[in-house]
Each structure stands twice: as C-alpha cells, then as structure tokens.
Structure 1
C-alpha cells in the first residue's frame, strides 16, 4: 500500500511540474497543427464533395499525414522537458532520498504525460470529426468504426514513441540528442507512407504509416486498411522494453 501511495504521489508531482514546462502550449500546437492539416486536405482536394461518403476520406487522409508530421517532434519535446528537469535540478537524487527510484520516476512520467497525450489524440480526432460535419458540411454518416480504429492506433503509436523518448531523455542528459531524433522521427514517419509495409515495421515511427486510415492510390483518395496486429505488437513490445529498462534503473539505484 505504501508503494502505491508513493507511486500516486510521484504521478501527482509530475503534473505539478507541468505548470512550468509549457505542456499546455505544446499540446495546443499539436491539436491546432493536426486540425489545420486536416482542413487543408479538404480545401486542396479537387474531388471533395460533401454530399458523398468519400468526403470523409479527405479528413482521414489529412489526419493520417498531420499526426506523423507533427507528433514525433512534439512528443520528443514533451518527454525532453519533463525529464530534463530531473537532470538540471538533481531530481533523480532528491526523489531517491524520498524513496522514489529513477525507474519509478520514469514510469510516473509516462503515466502523467500519457494522460495528456491520450486527451490530445482523442480530443483532436473528435474535433476534426465535428468540424467535418458542421464546418465542411459533410452530409453522409461518418465511418465511425474506421475512425475509432484509426484513433486507437494513432494513440498506441503516440504512446509508444512517448515511452521511448522518456527512456532516451533519461539516459542521455544532452536533450538536443532527443530533439534531433524527434526531427528524424517526423521524416521517417512521413516517408514511411511511401514505403512497403515491411519497411515501415523497421522503426517505431514507421508504424504511423501502418495506422494510415486514408490516402491516395494513384489519383484517387481511398479509405485504407489499418494494420491492427502490427500496432498491437508495437504497443506490447515497447511496453515490455519500457518495463524492463525502468526496472533496471531501479536496480542500478539500489
């Protein structure tokens, strides 16, 4: 019970730290960026017709491009800022004296930031859905099942990338390394959409392409199948890696 209380206190502490880390600003940029790219996809599509069910593909295609173009870097920023405060202020040592190991700190950071990223991802998808109905005036019913699957998969990839960046930022004090990898992640995530599925499996950022809900095949914008087994496998593998490495952090501290 005492361990659960300590873990809960660590998560609360992470939320308290966010007030000084511009988490709200970064979150707002993520939402506005994806929304803007989704609307741009609608405005730039010559075949957009709000009276046809295919009109939703323009929004799904815009989000399928907007999330991988924006999220990898901003997730790196969120993780870097949340972890760098421990490097700068001897936070690892201070929390160890309170009985909270570095591994527990990393897990608390994932829980706290994971709640924020979950809210951003689900909220952005809902906003785009509402905008498509009210602002774009799309009349046919939205493909809610496909949309929900896309949301789940993008959330799973976002959380996996977030977890890896927390580990990276915890091990490497120079946060420019983490931010540089975040930029590289954006490039890999976008270019993976033009690669074979086997190539997209090579890096965590390639899984954004496997979660793509709509895109162009030739000159036609079509709804695309989502690779659910691959996304689930990524979530499981990253979850295991995160757990193993953070528990190693605990043993190293001991």
Structure 2
C-alpha cells in the first residue's frame, strides 16, 4: 500500500498542490490571526489560547471543506483526463488499491495542513506574549477533531471526484460544505448533526457561550461519542464510494 501511496505523490508532483495548500492556509491563518489581533487590541487581558483556538476551528469550517475538495479533485482528476483506469487494470493493479492510495495521499496532505496550523498557532500566541502555558492537550484534541472530520469529508469528496468526470460537481460540493461549516452553529442541534462539515466546530474542545452580553470560552474537551460516530460514518462513506467506483464500467 505504501508503494501505491508513494506513486500517488509522484503523480501529483507537478500539480502544484502544495502551493495551493500553502496559499489557502495562509489566507485562513491571516483571517484567524487578524481576528485574534483585533481582540487583543481591544482587551489584551482577555485574549487566551482558547480564543485563538476557537478562531482557528471556526475558520476550518469554512476553508478546510474547500481545501479538501481542491486537493482530492487534483488527485483524482488525472484518472479521468488520462483515462488511466484501463491502463492500471492491464498492469494487474486493483482499483481498490488505487482508491485506498488516493485516500491515504489526501489524508496525509490534510494532516500536513493540520500540523502547520498547530505550529502557526503556537508561534502566533508566543509572539503575542500570551501568558498562560501552551495547552498541548487542547491543541492535540483540536487536531484530532479536525483530522477525524477531514477524513470523513475526504471519503465523500473522493467518491464524488472519481464517480463524476466533471470536477465542477466536486468543487461545488466543497464550497457548499464550506458554507455549511461556517454557518452550522446557527442550525438547530439535531439538524447540524446530519452535516459532516459541521463537525469542524462540533468536535472543537472549546465552545463559545454568550453570558450576560459577554463572550465566555468554555473548555468542554473532545466528544468521543461524536468522534466514534463520525469515524463510523467516514468508514461507511469510504466503503460505499469504493464499492461504487471499483465496479463502475471503464
């Protein structure tokens, strides 16, 4: 499997995916850190790690569905443009192996994004002289929630990207996911649970509450029942997508 995953990275070496990842990530971090800087200028004593982490998770709801759609689309599009499915079959390579390799490739790229986010968050907070110690537990929980959500989103996006030749559908789904991800907190509880993009915020270990006309950031930890449920749903999406694509006529 690692050989096929390495092959996927080799195939996208000229796709400038890393450049797109860094570009979109810089926009997201600039937006989040600008909001943090504004909060700091208004009330320097009120800014904490919880505030910055909350800004990051909110921006993830908007940007990561779009970024994931772009990454997965670029990874999958070459099979459509090059019509390589038949060529792979003649080389005795199972489509299930290629499907799994593409999924692993996309997951590793998104994991790279999450690691960059953590590093940038620590650097920003240290540069702003946030007095409290680095909350590694909160940062790791945030990364875990983001990764689990992204894995489910990748499974959905890969299914669509490989099932439909026109990648505009997959990209539109990513933009729709970004809209839902940033506005999901406005939906009723039982409604937003049905949208996987809403879990960028739902799995955040920190929740923002309005108490007496003031904003309070409450640490609630990572919801492991939600994590388990989302993992199972991601496995379901991957299994159904794999079954459909691998049995599709080429």
Q: Could you tell me which runs of 5 or more consecutive residues in structure 2 were left unpaired when the two chains were aligned.
A: none
* Cα distance in structure 1, aligned partners of 2:239 and 2:85: 18
Runs of 4+ off more than 6 Å? none
The answer to whether the Cα contact below 8 Å between 2:99 and 2:242 also exists between their aligned partners in 1 is yes
Q: Could you tell me which runs of 5 or more consecutive residues in structure 1 were left unpaired when the two chains were aligned.
A: 1-6
Question: What does 1:138-157 correspond to in 2, within 5 Å?
Answer: 138-157=130-149
Residue 11 of structure 2 is aligned to residue 17 of structure 1: yes
* Cα distance in structure 2, aligned partners of 1:236 and 1:90: 32
* Cα distance in structure 1, aligned partners of 2:208 and 2:248: 49
TM value normalised by structure 1:
0.88
| Cα drift, residue 25 of structure 1 | 1.2
What is aligned with 1:238?
234
Name which of 172, 176, 189 aligns with 2:168: 176
What is aligned with 1:4?
none
What is aligned with 1:57?
50
**Alpha-carbon displacement from aligned partner over 1:14-65 (angstroms, at most 9, x marks no partner):** 001121212111220243133212211212216542x56x511221121011
Name which of 29, 42, 45 aligns with 2:23: 29
What is aligned with 1:3?
none
Question: What does 1:110-149 correspond to in 2, within 5 Å?
Answer: 110-133=103-126, 135-149=127-141
**Alpha-carbon displacement from aligned partner over 1:197-222 (angstroms, at most 9, x marks no partner):** 32221111111120234454223141
| Cα drift, residue 126 of structure 1 | 2.3
Aligned residues between the structures? 245
Question: What does 1:99-118 correspond to in 2, within 5 Å?
Answer: 99-118=92-111
What is aligned with 2:223?
227
* Cα distance in structure 2, aligned partners of 1:198 and 1:25: 38
Residue 34 of structure 2 is aligned to residue 40 of structure 1: yes
The answer to whether the Cα contact below 8 Å between 1:153 and 1:228 also exists between their aligned partners in 2 is no
Task: Give me the CA root mean square deviation.
Answer: 2.1
